[in-house]
């Protein structure tokens, strides 16, 4: 019997890819940049499974062009780059990587919020540029984090992990908006209060956005929402570009509608809106919230666990641990 072929769409830890070799013919794209769509489709010819990241787009056109594909396994928790209903319609199981990156991503979200509130990046640029001539009373004076109101938009695993840091570590008041309310005991342990989105925007000293990107959350925060925020407030986005209207955000930052922003994700990334690049009061990082070595390894390992199980190998054969459309395997 011929062994199934799988494709690893990005350069990823070699020892983790090696876990697949006893079971499959493994093809790899040994580049750090994503393939173009035609190159991805060409590489997937004859493949039963693919390991992807958050960058590769899996849509109906690709699925039509790759009829042997049975499993799409991403090492990301977010899966807005994958058309899951189209995969189900093509009999393709999709898995993502929830859980393993929660704490690392929450650490980063909190760090970015703090860097934004306390103007750390601005101060660092000033020093490096040789502009520090004397200490000043209000030099880079920002807002306080401890005791402030932390607003969390999207209260899933990562949102709750950020709430835990704010409530337990920094004595913050925690307010959140989410489609569903947390169970009462979680609200108590996190000190968290549910609010409507307008209420949250008005209340937050530091708004952290962690909601998945879907058609419903496209430009959830735009000019009208920013106008509700305090002029001293900060906004941190570690969710996805597109949840925030970046052009409206740049205008709000320039006009002083809000004080500052911390952004790890962008509309159209890796291209960043030039209006954001021109501002002093925004901290910009290149989509690295989950980037600790142990966590990136855990994400890749989970994608491999899923790929093995989805293609019928190992103790979880037929039951990938984190499938998004497990019904495909039951039918």
Give the residue numbers marked as catalytic. Answer: 240, 269, 287
Query: Nearest 5°: CA angle at 282, between 280 and 287?
Result: 135
Q: Which of 290, 303, 313, 322 binds ligand 8YV (CB under 6 A)?
A: 290
Among 101, 155, 259, 307, binds ligand 8YV (CB under 6 A): 101
- Strands in the chain per DSSP E: 5-8, 25-28, 49-52, 71-74, 93-95, 149-153, 173-177, 192-194, 206-209, 234-237, 260-263, 282-284
Q: Which of 6, 26, 63, 77 binds ligand 8YV (CB under 6 A)?
A: 77
Radius of gyration of the CA atoms of the chain, in A:
22
Separation of alpha carbons 88 and 168, rounded Å: 42
- Per the CB < 8 A criterion, the answer to whether 48 and 54 are in contact is no
- Considering only 54, 142, 154, 159, the residue that binds ligand 8YV (CB under 6 A) is 54
Q: Which residue number places its CB atom closest to ligand 8YV?
A: 54
Binding window for ligand 8YV (CB under 6 A); candidates: 1-9, 11-19, 41-49, 73-81: 73-81
Min. distance of Cβ 205 from ligand 8YV in angstroms?
Answer: 25
The residue among 78 and 91 lying less far from ligand 8YV, judged by its C-beta, is: 78
Phi first, then psi: give them for residue 111, nearest 5 degrees.
-65, -40
CB of 258 to ligand 8YV, least distance (A): 24
Query: How is residue 77 written in tokens?
Result: 């928790």
| Closest CA relative to residue 245, chosen from 263, 270, 231 | 263
Q: Which is nearer to ligand 8YV, 149 or 290 (CB)?
A: 290
Q: How many residues does the chain have?
A: 331
- DSSP string for residues in 186-218: HHHHHTEEE--HHHHHHH-SEEEE-PPP-GGGT
Does position 93 interact with ligand 8YV (CB under 6 A)? The reply is no
Is there binding between residue 326 and ligand 8YV (CB under 6 A)? no
Minimum separation from the CB atom of position 107 to ligand 8YV (A):
12
Check residue 75 for interaction with ligand 8YV (CB under 6 A).
Answer: yes
User: Applying CB under 6 A, which residues contact ligand 8YV?
Assistant: 53-54, 75-78, 101, 287, 290
């Amino acid at each position: 019997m011929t062994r199934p072929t799988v494709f690893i769409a990005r350069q990823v830890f070699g020892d983790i890819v090696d876990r697949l070799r006893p079971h499959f013919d493994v093809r790899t794209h040994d580049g750090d940049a994503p393939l173009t769509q035609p190159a991805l489709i060409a590489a997937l010819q004859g493949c039963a499974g693919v390991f992807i990241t958050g960058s590769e787009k899996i849509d109906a056109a690709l699925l039509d062009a790759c009829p042997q594909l049975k499993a799409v396994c991403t090492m990301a928790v977010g899966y807005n780059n994958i058309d899951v209903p189209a995969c189900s319609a093509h009999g393709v199981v999709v898995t993502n990587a929830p859980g393993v990156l929660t704490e690392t991503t929450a650490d980063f979200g909190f760090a970015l919020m703090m860097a934004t509130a306390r103007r750390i990046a601005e101060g660092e640029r000033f020093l490096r540029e040789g502009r520090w001539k004397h200490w000043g009373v209000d030099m880079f004076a920002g807002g306080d984090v401890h005791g402030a109101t932390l607003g969390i938009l999207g209260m899933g695993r990562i949102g709750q992990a950020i709430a835990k840091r704010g409530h337990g570590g920094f004595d913050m008041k925690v307010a959140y908006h989410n489609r569903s309310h947390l169970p009462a005991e979680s609200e108590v342990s996190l000190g968290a209060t549910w609010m409507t989105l307008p209420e949250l925007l008005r209340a937050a000293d530091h708004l952290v956005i962690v909601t998945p990107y879907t058609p419903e959350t496209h430009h959830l925060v735009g000019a009208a929402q920013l106008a509700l925020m305090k002029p001293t407030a900060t906004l941190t986005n570690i969710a996805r570009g597109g949840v925030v209207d970046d052009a409206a955000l740049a205008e709000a930052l320039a006009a002083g509608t809000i004080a500052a922003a911390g952004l790890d994700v962008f509309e159209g990334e890796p291209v960043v809106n030039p209006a954001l690049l021109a501002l002093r009061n925004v901290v910009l990082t290149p989509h690295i919230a989950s980037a600790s070595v142990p966590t990136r390894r855990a994400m890749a390992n989970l994608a491999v666990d899923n790929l093995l199980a989805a293609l019928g190998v190992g103790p979880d054969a037929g039951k990938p641990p984190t499938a998004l459309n497990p019904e495909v395997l039951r039918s």
